[in-house]
Amino acid sequence: MSNPSLLILPGDGIGPEVMAEVRRIIDWMAARRGIVFDVSEDLVGGCAYDKYGTPLHDKTMAKAQEVDAVLLGAVGGPKYDSLPFAVKPERGLLRLRKEMDLYANLRPAQCFDALADFSSLKKDVVAGLDIMIVRELTGGVYFGEPRGIFTEGNERVGINTQRYSESEIARVSRSAFEMARKRRNKVCSMEKANVMESGVLWREVVQKIRDEEYPDVELSHMYADNGAMQLVRWPKQFDVIVTDNLFGDILSDCAAMLTGSLGMLPSASLGAPMKNGRPKALYEPVHGSAPDIAGQGKANPIACILSFAMALRYSFDMGAEADRVEKAVEKVLADGVRTADLMGPEGGSPVSTTGMGDAILAALDASL
């Protein structure tokens, strides 16, 4: 039986630094747990453009289609701002999502007890928070046609089209209901059915899938603007939120800051099942490439490490090992270990990127 395969794409900025700490955990798992991954590494984003003249080489795309999972660091940076739109670093990530058909983006927002005071919201509002946003990722207004900037009469008009088919809504709603069954069995679907026909269809299809296939899951519907308000009023009322591409983009970033730092948040993008029955998948931290601190050892590797934990759970059926990694992160934070982004107003001496990795590896050792 072959080892599970993983393609690592560190990318730009702090991507290589945070990914290096994941590589240490992968090595730890081989040495201490006897779990060996077949790991390959390649380029995406600006570094790929520098070498190949494209943000994602065709050979890299082919590799991504073959492996069990892809783990990505970050892409982009001011160095590439003047590039034509078609070859900007972000196009490499979008190509991965589109060609792998990664239609369900899982964005957890979890507030560790040790960081509850770090959120801009009151501690009792965020302490114990654990929600999951399931965002449709390959349709909607970001991909709908017609789109572009056109001339009408004596002025220009920008057009983007919100478009969803029943099948696109059905498959992402199934992902949300399946996720809810593994959590607290509750889904809230968010759209704008009061003003958008696509929202009307969205609500009808989600309700139909629930009634016919998931009658055991509690389902509620909410307008997305009210959903944004409720996320900052009392976020713990939610378990799983399912929504479209545009609203999911906005709502997940809103939920991200409930936890205090983008440096803490992982994500998974899942597609259709492969021959082994597991979904095609790409895992990445929510944060960007942070070029202002790249190469300085200041980056927080936790989001990338937790993204690997999500890969263990959803792509490799290693839930116990995912729990082990997540509990190690929780212990390190409870012990007061902090990178610079997690330092409160009281100050202190932050650890480096490698220092955080050292602490998490020590906690993993202690878990055995």
Annotated catalytic residues are 142, 192, 225, 249, 253
Least Cα distance to 243 among 309, 162, 184 occurs for: 162
Strand duo 144-152 + 155-161: pairing: antiparallel
Pairing outcome for strands 240-243 and 5-11: unpaired
Task: Report the sign of the C-alpha dihedral through residues 42, 45, 48, 53, in that order.
Answer: positive
Return phi, psi of residue 261, to 5°: -155, 130
Angle at 121 between CA 119 and CA 127, to 5 degrees: 70
The two tokens of residue 200 are: 């009307």
* Residue 128: closest CA among 323, 304, 258: 258
Q: Are 110 and 333 in contact (CB under 8 A)?
A: no
Q: What does the alpha-carbon distance between residue 110 and residue 169 come to, in Å, rounded to a whole number?
A: 26
Q: Which amino acid is at 219?
A: L
Q: Secondary structure of 35-104 in the HEC alphabet?
A: CCCEEEECCCCHHHHHHHCCCCCHHHHHHHHHCCEEEEEECCCHHHCCCCHHHCHHHHHHHHHHHCCCCE
Distance CA 156, CA 260 (A): 40
